[in-house]
Amino acid sequence: MHRIDKIINNPQYNHCLSLIKEREHDRIFCRHDFAHFLDTARIAYIIAKEKGFNYTKEIIYSAALLHDIGKWKEYDKNIPHEIASAEIAESILNDIGFCDDDIYVIKKAICLHREENATGLGALLFLADKKSRICYLCNVSSNCKWNDEKKNKNFFY
């Protein structure tokens, strides 16, 4: 997974992480930080194995590590973060040598990661993104905008 190391060490990636951290400094709810990205990646990989998805570990991890990387643009410019994240992902993935086909698959998944009816890698990201949140341990869960049906009240992965 040498390209995963390249994502994690990419200057643009790290700059975006720092911008998100600045904007979420006072956020009391779940943050969009590296821990969330990595939890999403690991859960997506587990689900893929359990459900027989045919994506490589590197593709799954790349999509998950990049799925919210444009969140700062949502805060600053009101650009939906899935759109901003796909744009930033394309730049990073090009820089580290992903082929056009893989970039297309990852970008499409990132664009769909907020859609309940997504398919393929987008569906995998959607589910892993939601399951990565540990609402059952959250001290401010009662103030969260997620309704009770959406909250993770049990351990899944």
Is residue 155 situated within a structural domain? no
DSSP at 141? G
pLDDT digits (tens, 9 = 90+) for 86-103: 999 999 999 999 999 999
Is residue 9 situated within a structural domain? yes
Domain residue limits at 16: 2-22+30-143
The CATH number that applies at residue 47 is 1.10.3210.10
Q: Tokens for 141?
A: 């869960």
Domain count, the chain: 1
| Cβ neighbours of residue 150 closer than 8 Å, sequence gap 6 or more | 130
pLDDT digits (tens, 9 = 90+) for 37-69: 999 999 999 999 999 999 999 999 999 999 999
CB 138 within 8 A of CB 125: no
pLDDT digits (tens, 9 = 90+) for 8-29: 999 999 999 999 999 999 988 8
pTM of the entire predicted model:
0.92
Is residue 151 situated within a structural domain? no
